[in-house]
Amino acid sequence: MNNEELVNLYKLALDRWGVDSQVNMAFQECAELIKALTDFYRDRNTAKDIIEEVVDVELMCGQMRNLYDPNDFYYSDLRQKKIARFKELLAK
């Protein structure tokens, strides 16, 4: 699936279920990832469980990006700045 198709899916989800519902779903998916990570370190689940939640969070992040920055005014530039800062931290 290319980026344009994915963006169209994000738009469809927001149109179908509404902004409030999808923002609440983003909260829920982030919480599920936190729980999966916590459970992993308590030997209650597997890395596969974590990856499943990571994918869910990534899908919700895509929807949130589409909702709050649909024309990519901020995301790409900010992402590059944060990656550069991350590299600096790792170089120390």
pLDDT, one tens digit per residue, over 49-77 is: 999 999 999 999 999 999 999 999 999 99
Q: How much is the pTM?
A: 0.91
In contact, 57 and 84? CB cutoff 8 Å: no
CA distances from residue 72 to 26, 65, 86 in whole angstroms, order as listed: 20, 8, 21
pLDDT at position 48, please? 97
